[in-house]
Amino acid sequence: MTDTIFALSSGQPPAGIAVIRISGPQAGAALTAIAGKLPTARRATLATLSHPQDRTHLDRTMVLWLPGPGTATGEDSAELHLHGGRAVIAAVGAALTSLPGLRRAQPGEFTRRAFANGRIDLAEAEGLADLLSAETELQRRAALAMAEGALSREVEGWRSALLQVSARLEAALDFSDEDDVGEGESLLPAGFTADCAALVGQLETWLGRPRAEPLKEGFRVVLAGPPNAGKSTLFNALIDQEAAITAAEPGTTRDVLTHACALDGIPFVFADTAGLREEGAGEIERIGIARAKAAAEKADLVLWLGPEGECLDNHAWEVCARVDDPATKRKSAKAFHLSARTGEGMNALRKALVMHGRHALPAPGEIALNRRQHDLLGEVAVHLDHAMNEFDPLLAAENLRLARRSLDALVGRTSTEDMLDTLFGRFCIGK
């Protein structure tokens, strides 16, 4: 029997109102025990809450009774809209704990029950998790599209088309038992290859879209170059904080210092790194240099503050960061010439970063695939490609079956417990 769970689903107290959610088979009994009676379904009702054992007065507040399955979790549910003081919340929580069959919810347990009861699929759950952690407007809109089922609807369309292709292939296999099929004649139905190719084309369009990771984690920009090239000063100017220590002494920065911020609504993660040099570095500085090189390899973009043309990354942006110093050697016209101290040229760099990040990230409201979704969709495309290049209809049918299995895994029709534990563990308690 499924336990009945409860948790505070609003913000941390103190607050004007605190909402405690209850979900499970004993939700109605719990509401009756604490409120004295079961109110009219789906209608906010004023009630006096009392401890079910000694009838100690707890609060006078609004309650909701939401019978399943038409609820967020697909189960009987109730909500207590309490006064948001810590003592009130603690007293009501203790009263609910005293009831048989009730326990406090684990992180993400409400959403996991919604998934288990078919109220949402796995792609929608992932979108909801991203929505809860969204910090920029771009992240919010992409996560909202996913949470509201935009990808799930696309998957359902692909699955329907795939089932139709599979049905025609199965019919051709049944027909192959007839005597009038010539030896060596293809048993694949007419249009089979074209239908598979059309599906592959749709999937490849999606696979070519910007990914979700840079959107969630921020577009990663690494500042690299030799010691005293102005990296830390530029880093502080870009994030608008004095986060990095700046000094004339070489090797001041010993480790990779990162800071997340948004420029014009685009999420960035800027990384200041140790100065790169071959000689004169101590043991700790050499470790910092190794980490700087590793960070540059993982960057979405490198701002190179060293001698022009010496950065190993061919896509790095050349930056001359000390134009206020007459002794600084200028770079070619394609480089960014600026001074983080005086602000000269900084607006041009920021605008270029925003434009570059905007093109690299999904458009506002566009669905972005995460690594799991991208890998599964890639598997579907591979299986379809194998199917349309098979002469043997049995092998083609098996590849179509594998393609359907990958599509089912994408929305959670087939999922492992470990993967579900990881996903729903990202949620807060009460969600």
As averages over each run of 10 residues, the pLDDT of the chain (431 residues) reads 89 92 97 96 96 94 96 96 96 96 93 93 91 86 92 94 90 63 60 93 94 88 91 91 58 73 90 79 74 89 92 88 88 93 94 92 88 95 94 91 93 70 72 74
**Residue at 30 is within a domain:** yes
DSSP letters spanning 101-163: TEEEPPTTHHHHHHHHTTSS-HHHHHHHHHHHH--SHHHHHHHHHHHTTHHHHHHHHHHHHHH
Q: Are residues 241 and 110 in the same domain?
A: no
**Residue at 55 is within a domain:** yes
Q: Omega before 14 cis (within 30°)?
A: yes
CATH code, domain with 82: 3.30.1360.120
Question: What pLDDT sits at residue 291?
Answer: 87
The tokens describing 178, both together, are: 């007839």
Determine the length of the chain.
431
CB-CB contact of 214 with 362 (8 Å)? no
Question: What pLDDT sits at residue 138?
Answer: 85
CA nearest to 234, candidates 294, 295, 303, 297: 303
Give the count of alpha carbons within 13 A of 172, CB side only.
20
What is the rounded CA–CA span in Å between residue 402 and residue 81?
48
- Residue 271 CB contacts under 8 Å (≥ 6 apart), including other chains: 220, 221, 222, 223, 235, 256, 257, 258, 295, 299
> Residue 46: enclosing H or E segment and its boundaries?
strand 45-50
> Domain boundary residue among 49, 81, 116?
116
Q: At what angle do helices 346-360 and 231-239 cross, to 10 degrees?
A: 70
Q: Are residues 219 and 95 in the same domain?
A: no
What is the rounded CA–CA span in Å between residue 30 and residue 50?
11
CATH code, domain with 330: 3.40.50.300
Question: What pLDDT sits at residue 181?
Answer: 47
How much is the CA Rg of the chain, to the nearest whole Å? Answer: 29
Query: Any idea what DSSP says for residue 317?
Result: E
**Residue at 403 is within a domain:** no
What is the rounded CA–CA span in Å between residue 253 and residue 245?
7
Q: Are residues 238 and 353 in the same domain?
A: yes
**Residue at 179 is within a domain:** no
Question: What pLDDT sits at residue 185?
Answer: 45
**Residue at 256 is within a domain:** yes
Range of the domain at 100: 4-116
What is the rounded CA–CA span in Å between residue 72 and residue 120?
9
> Domain boundary residue among 116, 134, 165?
116
> Domain boundary residue among 360, 386, 406?
360
**Residue at 59 is within a domain:** yes
Split into its structural domains, the chain has a count of 2
Count of helix runs (H) and strand runs (E) in the chain: 14, 12
Task: Give ∠ CA 386-389-393 in degrees, rounded to 5.
Answer: 90
